[in-house]
């Protein structure tokens, strides 16, 4: 399941693995003009950077730096310059160029697409923190303060969980986080075990154990965020949301704890059996759960959030795309039915003509509609900032 960069003579022969001893996953390899170097990108912690390795062999070296994510690397025909896009938590994506030879030079920004917009809004930075999870794994997280934060006041907190699980959050502008922090929420996001960018052992630590130690990582991150806020989190007004694997984990969390007052689940898995029979990605669970359902029945059962449906009491906003082939909408339908049958407050939003990537690459009007539904759902149940929610008791 790991990526490596290999070279083989054009006339045939034995392939040589140039990154066999490298712990990260290289992507998008490109030859240098002189054929002596191979450049590639890789996720490293919460960043994405350009790396290089000699075609003759040797250690990989990092070419670009900074707490940010760089993508779309393109080398000039003479190999002396490099172009790429870059973004960090408070800066939108722009195009940059820098010299590679004779030495790595000063970066120049070529576009200003977002300047006029960002002069009209406040973008909120994030504080990075690390902690030691179960088994000694080092976990990275980020915490954004609520807009208008005042010491001595308490604000609700939102935990966001990324998809994958072999993906990550990091140092890139994420409008959803800015929107929620702007509404007066502490915004917590983290890369629990299973995330990419921290080495192969970290990435595949969840194999056969989804919802186990990764769940503990997330709960530990919440505890640490509360401690870092020094009394600034109203622990009676916390929310959890996520999509894809993050949606699975949101469903899992509300089936295992009542510490969150409200939840929002996106393109989520509820029943691994039905998911396997209708998804376009059966290979994921065949690897992660060590076989098909009839070969690994116990894992498919025990790791299905449906197995814990009777423990789910958290009001839930369910969002799903009708044309999602990765996580078909039948899982959302089953989740909605199970909640409504048991009297748990739930709202089900179905988006037509939309796919698995709706929250990131869908039609703009649907992106706005989705964010507005999340905003109003959370405001109803946990309020905004230091303002009280519409529902002031634990009753439904």
- Longest Cα separation, the chain: 73
Residue 15, burial from CB neighbour count under 10 angstroms (0-12, 13-18, 19+)? exposed
pLDDT at 357: 87
Lowest mean pLDDT among 136-140, 276-280, 390-394: 390-394
Long-range contacts for 360-363 (Cβ within 8 Å, ≥24 apart)? 362/321
d(CA 72, CA 321): 28
How does pLDDT run across 180-218, given as a tens digit for each residue? 999 999 999 999 999 999 999 999 999 999 999 999 999
Mean pLDDT of 26-41: 92
CB distance 205 to 193 below 8 Å:
yes
Domains of the chain, by residue range, sit at 6-116, 126-382
Taking 70 as the threshold, does the pLDDT of residue 226 lie above it? yes
- In b/e form, how buried is each residue of 131-165, taking b as 16+ CB within 10 angstroms? eebeeebebbbbbbbbbebeeeebbbbbbbbbbbb
pLDDT at 395: 42
Bridge partners for 191 per DSSP: 140
Angle ∠(152,158,162) on CA atoms, nearest 5: 145
pLDDT at 394: 46
d(CA 159, CA 127): 15
Q: Which CATH class is domain 126-382?
A: alpha beta
Mean pLDDT of 219-228: 98
What mean pLDDT is reported for the chain?
A: 93
How does pLDDT run across 113-137, given as a tens digit for each residue? 999 999 999 999 999 999 999 999 9
d(CA 192, CA 138): 9
Mean pLDDT of 32-44: 92
Residue 395, burial from CB neighbour count under 10 angstroms (0-12, 13-18, 19+)? exposed
CB distance 14 to 21 below 8 Å:
no
* E-strand stretches of 297-396: 316-321, 346-351
Q: How many CA atoms lie within 13 A of 117 on its CB side?
A: 9
Same fold, 6-116 and 126-382: no
* CATH fold label, 6-116: Neuraminidase (2.120.10)
CB distance 276 to 304 below 8 Å:
no
Instruction: Return the active site residues.
Output: 244, 356
DSSP string, 189-218: EEE-TT-SSS-HHHHTTTTT-TTSHHHHHH
Mean pLDDT of 48-71: 93
d(CA 281, CA 92): 32
- Of 46, 54, 48, 51, the closest CA to residue 62 belongs to 51
Portion of the chain with pLDDT greater than 70, in percent? 97
Portion of the chain with pLDDT greater than 90, in percent? 85
d(CA 300, CA 284): 12
How does pLDDT run across 344-392, given as a tens digit for each residue? 999 999 999 889 988 888 788 889 999 999 999 999 999 987 777 776 5
Q: At what angle do helices 364-382 and 175-182 cross, to 10 degrees?
A: 30
Question: Which residue shows structure tokens 């917009």?
Answer: 117
Taking 70 as the threshold, does the pLDDT of residue 104 lie above it? no
Taking 90 as the threshold, does the pLDDT of residue 109 lie above it? yes
Lowest mean pLDDT among 74-88, 93-107, 118-132: 93-107
- Of 331, 381, 376, the closest CA to residue 356 belongs to 331
pLDDT at 396: 43
Taking 90 as the threshold, does the pLDDT of residue 105 lie above it? no
d(CA 334, CA 174): 30
pLDDT at 79: 85
Cis status of the peptide bond prior to 165, with omega within 30 of 0: yes
């Amino acid at each position: 399941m790991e990526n490596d960069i290999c070279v083989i003579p054009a006339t045939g022969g034995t392939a040589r693995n140039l990154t066999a001893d490298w712990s990260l996953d290289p992507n998008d390899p490109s030859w240098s003009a002189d054929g002596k170097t191979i450049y590639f990108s890789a996720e490293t912690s919460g960043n994405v950077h350009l790396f290089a390795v000699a075609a003759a062999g040797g250690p990989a070296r990092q070419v670009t730096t900074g707490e940010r994510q760089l993508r779309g690397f393109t080398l000039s025909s003479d190999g002396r310059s490099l172009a790429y896009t870059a973004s960090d938590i408070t800066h939108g994506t722009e195009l940059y160029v820098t010299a590679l030879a004779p030495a790595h030079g000063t970066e120049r920004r070529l576009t200003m697409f977002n300047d006029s917009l960002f002069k009209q809004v406040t973008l909120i930075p994030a504080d990075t923190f690390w902690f030691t999870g179960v088994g000694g794994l080092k976990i990275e997280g980020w915490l954004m303060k609520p807009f208008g934060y005042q010491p001595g006041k308490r604000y609700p907190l939102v935990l966001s969980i990324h998809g994958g699980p072999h993906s990550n959050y990091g140092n890139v502008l994420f409008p959803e986080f800015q929107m929620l922090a702007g509404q007066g929420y502490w915004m917590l996001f983290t890369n629990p075990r299973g995330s990419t960018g921290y080495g192969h052992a970290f990435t595949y630590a969840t194999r056969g154990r989804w919802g186990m130690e990764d769940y503990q990582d997330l709960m530990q991150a919440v505890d640490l965020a509360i401690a870092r806020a020094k009394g600034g989190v109203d622990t009676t007004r916390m929310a959890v949301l996520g999509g894809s694997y993050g949606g699975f984990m949101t469903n899992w969390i509300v089936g295992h704890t009542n510490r969150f007052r409200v939840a929002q689940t996106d393109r989520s898995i509820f029943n691994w059996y039905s998911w396997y029979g209708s998804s376009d990605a059966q290979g994921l669970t065949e690897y992660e759960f060590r076989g098909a359902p009839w070969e690994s029945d116990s894992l498919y059962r025990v790791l299905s959030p449906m197995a814990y449906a009777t423990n789910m009491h958290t009001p839930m906003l369910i969002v799903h795309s009708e044309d999602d082939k990765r996580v078909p909408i039948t899982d959302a339908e089953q989740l909605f039915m199970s909640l409504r049958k048991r009297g748990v407050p739930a709202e089900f939003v179905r988006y037509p003509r939309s796919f698995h990537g709706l929250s990131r690459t869908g039609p703009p009007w649907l992106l706005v509609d989705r964010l507005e539904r999340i905003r109003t759902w959370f405001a109803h149940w946990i309020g905004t900032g230091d303002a009280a929610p519409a529902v002031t008791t634990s009753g439904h």
